[in-house]
Chains A and B, each alone.
Chain A
Amino acid sequence: MKVEQVSVFLENKPGGLEHVTRVLADADINIRALSLADTSDFGILRLIVNDMESAAKALQDEGFTVKRSHVVAVEIPDRPGGMHSISKVLTEKNINVEYAYAFVERSGENAIIIFRFDDIDAGIDALLENGFTVLPGEKVYRL
């Protein structure tokens, strides 16, 4: 039920992101979802791609510092209150969200939210218990 994500360390300077996307493009990697978090002097680019192994290797070969970690992908109907129904459950179960990012599915009917919880297994359990659709990695990679 977990989705693998690859994070890349970026210095805050022009061309940093371009370098990453060039490497991924050259390796024929398709990006499914991404988020860029930044501070005043560095950034973390988090990616979910179609081929995690090749993406991580291509980036490492180019000298990037990468980290593979697990996140949770939840599918919810794309309508008002959708996100709130999730955060309500997480609050009740006292699960902390480290970060999250979201995108809308191609059909436009559903949204997918990627979560990083402090306790990933407890997060998945809470969501499943409350009837949410937690997407398996394979499905997200092929979106």
Chain B
Amino acid sequence: MIFNEEFETLPREALEALQLKRLQQVAGRVYHTVGFYKRVFDEAGITPDDIKTLDDIRRLPFTTKQDLRDNYPFGLFTVPMSNIVRLHASSGTTGKPTVVGYTRRDIEIWSRLMARSLVSAGLTKNDIIHNAYGYGLFTGGLGVHYGAEMLGASVIPMSSGSTKKQIMILQDFGPTAICCTPSYALHLAERGENMGVDMRSLRLRVGILGAEPWNEKIRQEIEDRLGITALDIYGLSEIMGPGVAMECAEGRNGLHVFEDHFIVETINPETGETVPYGEEGELVFTSLTKEAFPLIRYRTGDMSRLMKEPCKCGRTHVRMARVSGRSDDMLIIRGVNVFPSQIESVLRGIEGLEPHYELIVDREDKLDTLEIRVEMSEDIFSDEIKILQKIEQRITKDIKDYLGVIAKVKLVGSRTLERSEGKTQRVIDRREV
């Protein structure tokens, strides 16, 4: 099923002509309204008028998470705050988040793209959607919510957490679709089974899962244990939120990027060179229709590959393979993006603490766990247990407050953690994916 037949099946030629027109418009708009873009375009020796073909996008400079940070919070917005109706935020690389804004029209387009995603998964207005993505600054909850309402489906604004209550509602309200992270879907299956609930006999038939890496084996397990069809959704707040790309129920092989609103590229993360279709690279998105916060060639850090072959669902939009990993050290913990540098900056904010730490990411009952091992230092050591426990609690609280994840903090002996130049050795990820 297709929500917007005309645009989702637009012949490539017409689609690319539309993309070029929209690219020229958005490039012109950011160049003339945002000081940052004027500067970086000028430095790259390009003006919006130089964009004659779609390939000319490669001459435009990339936008990075660092650029968003440098322009925190609203520096890259192209409209005055009076035109903005919503703000969301996601993890930055340090203590400060990345802020995104939406005009009324942005919200409407986002809702429509999310509705496309739901329809792509086989949902209609007759479905009841259990939305277990977090509501709040995170785009997941409200993004799915507005899409479900746009479609006319019945949405249960469940948000994350309270697993027992979720299972009760799954039994009593009879939702036919669930939106959450893959690991939470498995966690629900596990907890439900432990509670003696036959999770396969629920009315659920579709899972729209995303916000963290997974694989075919996990898909199989979710489908078996919940008795559903599990499909992959992709999005990121910087570009819009959920609904940037969605797997179709017919193809089940890659996610269609809604190309009438976004240009997707894959690049070599080291050189910035475009990699050919079919080869793995870092996903780079340009938002073509966003009013409040368009981004030009935004480097996502997500690794994937693009598939141009026609899909049996009839959509002409290019597909991206399920995200295989990150080009940087970002971790996804229960769907929350966490950079080790953010944890480091929290630790540096606690007096006396030396930022020698190690992160251990694991899974317990299908859910991610984060342990932070922090080295003891003379400055904070005490002969009293309660003082050391207070330090552990303080770190846990600060991490929760700044990053939104719950970490178990473990104080370890000084100079017991491996010293290394590279960052990667500070993270031990024991999860399967």
Give residues in A with beta carbon < 8 Å to B: 5, 7, 9-11, 37, 39, 41-42, 44, 46, 63-67, 69, 98-99, 116
A63 to B413 alpha-carbon distance, docked (Å): 8
Partner of A63, one of B382, B384, B385, B415: B415
Tell me if B385 and A65 are in contact (CB < 8 A).
Answer: no
Please choose the segment from B100-108, B135-143, B277-285, B373-381 that sits at the chain A interface, where 4 or more of its residues have CB less than 8 A away: B373-381
A69 to B378 alpha-carbon distance, docked (Å): 12
A64 to B382 alpha-carbon distance, docked (Å): 13
Q: Does B66 contact A (CB under 8 A)?
A: no
Tell me the minimal C-beta distance from B409 to chain A in angstroms.
9
Instruction: Give residues 373-426 of B contacting A (CB, 8 Å).
Output: 376-378, 381-386, 388-389, 410-416
In the complex, which residue of chain A has the Cβ closest to the Cβ of B412?
Answer: A11
In the complex, which residue of chain A has the Cβ closest to the Cβ of B384?
Answer: A98
A9 to B382 alpha-carbon distance, docked (Å): 8
Tell me if B413 and A64 are in contact (CB < 8 A).
Answer: yes
A41 to B385 alpha-carbon distance, docked (Å): 11
Pick the 6 closest A-B CB pairs, nearest first.
Answer: A7-B383, A65-B376, A65-B414, A65-B381, A9-B376, A63-B415
Partner of B410, one of A41, A63, A116: A41
A-B contact count, CB below 8 Å? 54
Give residues in B with beta carbon < 8 Å to A: 376-378, 381-386, 388-389, 410-416
Tell me if B413 and A99 are in contact (CB < 8 A).
Answer: no
Tell me if A41 and B411 are in contact (CB < 8 A).
Answer: yes
Tell me if B377 and A65 are in contact (CB < 8 A).
Answer: yes
Q: Main SS of chain B's interface residues?
A: loop
Instruction: Name the B residues within 8 Å of A116 (CB-CB).
Output: 383-384
Tell me the minimal C-beta distance from B377 to chain A in angstroms.
7
A64 to B415 alpha-carbon distance, docked (Å): 9
Instruction: Name the B residues within 8 Å of A39 (CB-CB).
Output: 385, 388-389
Tell me if B388 and A42 are in contact (CB < 8 A).
Answer: yes
In the complex, which residue of chain A has the Cβ closest to the Cβ of B371?
Answer: A41
A44 to B411 alpha-carbon distance, docked (Å): 12
Tell me if B388 and A63 are in contact (CB < 8 A).
Answer: no
Tell me if A11 and B384 are in contact (CB < 8 A).
Answer: no
In the complex, which residue of chain B has the Cβ closest to the Cβ of A63?
Answer: B415
A64 to B378 alpha-carbon distance, docked (Å): 9
Tell me if B413 and A44 are in contact (CB < 8 A).
Answer: no
Tell me if B381 and A66 are in contact (CB < 8 A).
Answer: yes
Indicate whether A9 sits within 8 Å of B385 (C-beta atoms), given known contacts A63-B415, A65-B413: no
Instruction: Name the B residues within 8 Å of A5 (CB-CB).
Output: 383
22 pairs, CB–CB < 8 Å, chain A vs chain B: A7-B382, A9-B376, A9-B414, A10-B413, A11-B416, A37-B385, A39-B385, A39-B388, A42-B388, A44-B382, A44-B388, A63-B413, A63-B416, A64-B414, A65-B413, A66-B378, A66-B381, A67-B381, A67-B382, A67-B383, A116-B383, A116-B384
Instruction: Name the B residues within 8 Å of A37 (CB-CB).
Output: 385
Tell me the minimal C-beta distance from A120 to chain B in angstroms.
12
Indicate whether A11 sits within 8 Å of B413 (C-beta atoms), given known contacts A42-B388, A65-B376, A65-B377: yes
